[in-house]
C-alpha cells in the first residue's frame, strides 16, 4: 500500500521560484500549494492546513520571520522550513521559528532530503524543541515626544500594544513587562549591519533584515 506524501505550502514573492519549486516537489509526489507572501499564506491556510510550510524570510507585507512565528504559535503541529539567500549555512537563523533552514541557490537535493525527513511518520510525531522562544518580529516604527525611536510591542498574551524604548546599549536580549497584563516579554533589537548572535550564524552582506524582534516568554 502506497503512503500518502505530505502536503506543502510554498511561500515566496518570486513567481519563477514558486513555479520551479512546485514542479520539482510535485514530480517527487508531493501535493503543493503556494502563496506570494505571509498574508496570502494565512489566507491560503483557510483552505486547509498543510503538513509542511516552506517560507522565504524576506518578503514585503508580512515577512517570513513574522509568518513562521505566527505558524509556530497557531499551528504547532505544522513542520516549517525557512529559506533565504541572505544567510549561509545549514543552521536555523537565531530567532527564526522554524524546524529547518534551506539556503536559496544551494543544491535542491538537500531541500528534498529535508522535506523527505519531515514527511516520515516518526518526524510528524516529534514536538518542537522545548524552551525555545518563539519570536514576534517587529520594526522600529515610531518616535516618542522627544523624537527618539521606539518600538510598538504587541503582548503575545493579551494582544494589546504599547511603546517600548530603543536604548543606546545594544544587548542580545532585552526584557520588559506588558503594561496591561504584566506578562514578561523578551525582545531583541537586531542591527541591520551587525546581526545579533553572529557567533552562531552568518548573515550574508547586503541582505535586508528586519530591524527588531520581540521574544515573548512562553514558559
Q: Which residues make Cβ contacts (< 8 Å) with residue 149, sequence separation at least 6?
A: 140, 142, 143, 166
Helix then strand then coil, in percent of the chain rounded to 5, is 25, 30, 50
Domains present along the chain, CATH in parentheses: 7-124 (3.40.50.2300), 136-216 (no CATH)
Tens digit of pLDDT per residue, the chain (219 long)? Answer: 445 688 999 999 999 999 999 999 999 999 999 999 998 999 899 899 999 999 999 888 888 888 898 898 889 999 999 999 888 788 888 778 899 999 998 889 999 999 999 987 654 444 454 334 555 555 555 565 666 767 777 776 666 778 876 665 555 556 788 888 777 877 765 444 333 333 334 555 555 444 444 444 433
Per-residue confidence (pLDDT) for residue 54, from 0 to 100? 97
Per-residue confidence (pLDDT) for residue 128, from 0 to 100? 53
Rg (CA), the chain: 18
Extended strands (E) in 50-148: 52-56, 79-84, 87-88, 100-103, 136-138, 140-143
Cα–Cα dist 25/113, whole Å? 11
Residue that is written with C-alpha cell 514558486 in the block:
18
Amino acid at each position: 500500500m502506497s503512503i500518502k506524501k505530505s502536503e506543502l505550502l510554498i511561500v515566496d514573492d518570486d513567481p519563477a521560484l514558486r513555479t520551479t519549486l512546485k514542479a520539482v516537489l510535485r514530480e517527487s509526489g508531493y501535493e503543493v500549494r503556494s502563496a506570494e507572501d505571509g498574508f496570502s499564506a494565512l489566507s491560503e491556510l483557510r483552505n486547509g492546513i498543510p503538513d509542511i510550510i516552506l517560507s522565504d524570510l524576506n518578503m514585503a507585507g508580512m515577512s517570513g520571520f513574522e509568518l513562521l512565528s505566527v505558524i509556530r504559535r497557531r499551528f504547532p503541529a505544522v513542520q516549517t522550513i525557512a529559506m533565504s539567500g541572505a544567510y549561509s549555512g545549514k543552521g536555523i537563523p537565531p530567532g527564526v521559528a522554524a524546524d529547518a533552514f534551506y539556503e536559496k541557490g544551494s543544491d535542491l537535493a538537500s531541500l528534498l532530503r529535508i522535506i523527505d525527513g519531515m514527511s516520515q511518520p516518526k518526524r510528524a510525531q516529534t514536538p518542537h524543541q522545548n524552551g525555545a522562544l518563539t519570536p514576534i518580529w517587529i520594526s522600529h516604527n515610531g518616535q516618542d515626544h522627544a523624537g527618539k525611536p521606539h518600538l510598538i510591542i504587541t503582548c503575545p498574551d493579551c494582544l494589546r500594544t504599547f511603546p517600548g524604548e530603543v536604548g543606546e546599549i545594544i544587548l542580545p536580549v532585552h526584557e520588559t513587562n506588558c503594561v496591561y497584563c504584566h506578562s514578561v516579554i523578551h525582545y531583541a533589537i537586531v542591527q541591520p549591519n551587525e546581526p545579533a548572535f553572529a557567533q552562531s550564524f552568518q548573515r550574508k552582506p547586503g541582505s535586508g533584515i528586519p530591524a527588531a524582534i520581540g521574544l515573548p516568554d512562553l514558559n
